[in-house]
Amino acid sequence: MGRKNIKRDELSSAIESCFSDASIQSKSELCSLWAGYGSIYRVQLSNGLNVIVKSIAPPKSDSVSNQRKLRSYEVEGYFYQHLSAKSQARLPSVYSIEHYEGPRFSFVLENLSSSFPDNAYSMSGKYLDAALDWLANFHASYWNYSNDDHGVGTDGGYWYLATRQEELEAMGNDNLSNKLRTNAKMIDARTRDPQFETLLHGDAKSANMLWKKSGNEITCAWVDFQYVGQGLGARDLAYMLCSSTNRSALKNLDQILHRYFTTFDQTMVKLGRSDHGYTLEKLKEHFEWCLLDYVRFMAGWGFWGNYDWAIATTGHLLT
């Protein structure tokens, strides 16, 4: 990841770094990044290629939130540049990762929307199966990743306890919040089991998924790798099911976890890796504690998605 201090348009510079023989024909802003940290653009090039540029220009701030966001973009750049090619799950190809003084960043990425043109925000049926398969393949790809250089997070996701002390303090005084606050460290400890850890996507919600229908088959690709880091794959599963899964599909939780585990196991065999005796029963145990940990986060941040299902599913862990 090269560090440069340039004064001209950084988007143009990022394009030139990987397409020296092409110029920008047009660009359009697809969306702004959370909290005013930049924008994502669709860029049409003179060579006929259509690419995505994620342009990150953080505000100056010493807040905990700002430091967390800055770190997330450093992680995303590292993942795209050094690790993304190892994924068995579909994600954008990477053309260039640029890091400027500030710090500011520009990621030039494959535009997946032509190959995966559909959206699905409340998943069930084959859409949910495809998302589960994607996660299982992703987790198998990075099983027991060492992260010796701390290029990605030592804790995947954005809602783990160490980085959410403000939310812990913001909990109310109702019975559930009091139990969660009292047991927060114990819950956090139960979401860790190093021999069975992998790299997480970290923000496993449907807004980060793109879909393709081919006959009766559904496949998906994922974007947004800001919160990649080490942890139990069940943390991604818990977040995805709570945030982005149709309520009716959750009646078959055992079937959902079985689907994920079967795909994970098949991919591990394909890759010739040992899962150190990971079992479906162990996955279910991990899942319940990770889901309860997400309930802990929501209790201080705000409840959303299938929160009542999550509370009902994990309530027995606090008795």
Domain architecture of the chain: domains with CATH: 2-110 (3.30.200.20), 125-318 (3.90.1200.10)
Q: What is the pLDDT of residues 93-130, one digit of tens each?
A: 999 999 998 889 999 999 999 899 999 999 999 999 99
User: Cα-flanking dihedrals φ and ψ of residue 54, to 5°?
Assistant: -95, 110
pLDDT of residue 2: 45
Token digits of residue 302: 């705000």
Is residue 310 a contact partner of residue 180, using CB atoms and an 8 Å limit?
no
Is residue 124 a contact partner of residue 30, using CB atoms and an 8 Å limit?
no
Using the Cα atoms of residue 196, residue 249, residue 216 and residue 93 in order, give the sign of their dihedral: negative
Please name which of 47, 26, 49, 40 lies closest in space to residue 73, comparing C-alpha atoms.
40
Counting every residue written for the chain, the total comes to 319
pLDDT of residue 168: 97
pLDDT of residue 244: 97
Q: Treating both helix axes as pointing N-terminal to C-terminal, what angle do 307-314 and 233-244 enclose, rounded to 10 degrees?
A: 130
Is residue 63 a contact partner of residue 37, using CB atoms and an 8 Å limit?
no
The residue written with tokens 């009542």 in the block is 308
Is residue 203 a contact partner of residue 33, using CB atoms and an 8 Å limit?
no
Q: Is 75 helix (H, G, I), strand (E, B) or coil?
A: helix
pLDDT of residue 162: 95
Judged by phi (left if over 0) then psi (alpha if -120 to 50, else beta), residue 112 lies in alpha
* pTM as predicted: 0.94
Q: How far is residue 177's CA from residue 29's CA, in Å, rounded to a whole number?
A: 41
pLDDT of residue 78: 97
Q: Is 113 helix (H, G, I), strand (E, B) or coil?
A: coil
Token digits of residue 2: 């090269």
Task: Show the low-confidence residues of the chain (pLDDT under 70).
Answer: 1-8
Q: Which H/E stretch holds residue 26?
A: strand 24-32
